Amino acid sequence: MRLNQLVLCNFRSYADCEIDFTDRVNLIIGENAQGKTTLLEAIYFLSTAKSHRTYPDGELIRHNESWFYLKGEIATTDSSYKDPETHNLQRLSLMTVEVSNELSGKKRFKFNGVLQKKLSQWIGQFNVVFFSPESLTLVKGSPADRRRFIDILISQINSAYLNSLQNYQFVLKQRNELLKQIRSKQASLEFLDPWDDLLIAEGISIIQTRLRMLAQLKGYIQVKHAELTGNREILELKYQPSPEKIDDVMGQEAAELFRRGLQSSRSYDILRGMTSLGPHRDDFKLILEAQSAGQMYLQEAKAFGSQGQQRTIALALKLGELELIRETTGKTPIVLLDDVFSELDEGRSAFLFELLGRLNAQIFITSTRQEAWGPGLGECRVFTVHNGQVN
């Protein structure tokens, strides 16, 4: 999968910009606050309909304007075609993806010129993996940050999961509103039962999908982490579903476990006006096994990992994400790397250079200095960004 061209109109500092990219490495150079990261953010938005940050969409619109527009022209290998002589995938197909958003909140998506009525029809058409300073929240941040990561990852390769997620969020909102009504004596307790049934059905589907995907992701992450650390450290990923131990049972037994949990927490939920159990409370822990002074030790990366270790883990998560998408879809996502070498020591940087050099993907990299990039990545196209202008 390759992004040939990107068009931005009224997106942050860009009034009107059209850029053609090379299919290997695109190096974007510029001082801070000039618009380097915005280019990567635009590419990510075309893929996921979200910023990699947590800004409201309205904040992405250029100052004094009422809308923004993004367009990408993408080349992708036709997996249904094989060269009859070499048996290699040869045929490339071109597609366009477009997003427009207004201050009113109205958002439109088009795929090959056709308006998409549902977000699930859009997500997964064009996949990217984005590493940025904000990616450290995967290690240091809240459970919500890690849930967001896994939800976006799975949604890119499983449209049914995105539908379940949207259904679950609707049911959760309705149940929480009913809890508040019960607390204020405006509704009866018995009205909770049908909402519990819906919450359980969608919730178990989400948990089981997360469980399968995290098990696959774990293998890729551990391989990438070992490569980045020269096999000096081992990374363990441990899923923590809500309710606890629901990952140990299946089918009706899982449904009953979920139901008992909801019933036992009803009084507490009514008091708070919020549902305390369910996949909206899930998390996964990142445990580091390393050696110091000849002794092996285990430590949770969030609390005890160094800045370099945490950054390496975040990179491993992102590279594992790439491999999972590639294995599942048969297409290699585009790689976006923003300020990637900050806080990495010389050894970890060298391992990353080597790994990126072997990665058969289109890569976009931002940096303040061109000379910071060694020969390991081969030839690249260099773009200079200054005050929202690209040269």
| CA–CA distance, 133 with 148 (Å, rounded to integer) | 16
Cite the residue boundaries of each domain of the chain with CATH code 3.40.50.300.
Answer: 1-127+361-391
pLDDT tens for 47-71 read: 999 998 867 899 999 999 999 999 9
pLDDT tens for 75-126 read: 987 554 444 455 555 567 899 999 999 998 899 999 999 999 888 888 888 8
Cite the residue boundaries of each domain of the chain with CATH code 1.20.1050.90.
Answer: 132-330
pLDDT at site 221: 96
pLDDT at site 80: 46
pLDDT at site 250: 86
- How many whole angstroms from its chain centre is CA 220? 16
pLDDT at site 44: 96
pLDDT at site 345: 74
CB half-sphere exposure, 148, CA atoms < 13 A? 16
| CA–CA distance, 341 with 352 (Å, rounded to integer) | 9
Q: Model's pTM, two decimal places?
A: 0.89
pLDDT at site 98: 96
pLDDT at site 196: 97
Does residue 269 contact residue 276 with C-beta atoms inside 8 Å? yes
- Per run of 10 residues, the mean pLDDT along the chain (length 391 residues) is 96 96 92 93 94 85 96 79 50 88 92 90 89 92 95 94 96 98 96 97 96 96 92 93 92 95 97 97 93 77 90 93 93 90 72 79 88 63 92 91
CATH superfamily, with its number, for domain 132-330 = RecF/RecN/SMC, N-terminal domain (1.20.1050.90)
pLDDT at site 118: 87
Does residue 327 contact residue 121 with C-beta atoms inside 8 Å? no
Query: Which CATH number among 1.10.3260.10, 1.10.10.10, 3.40.50.1970, 3.40.50.300 corresponds to the domain 1-127+361-391?
Result: 3.40.50.300
pLDDT at site 376: 57
- Continuous segment of H or E residues that includes residue 191: none
CB half-sphere exposure, 142, CA atoms < 13 A? 4
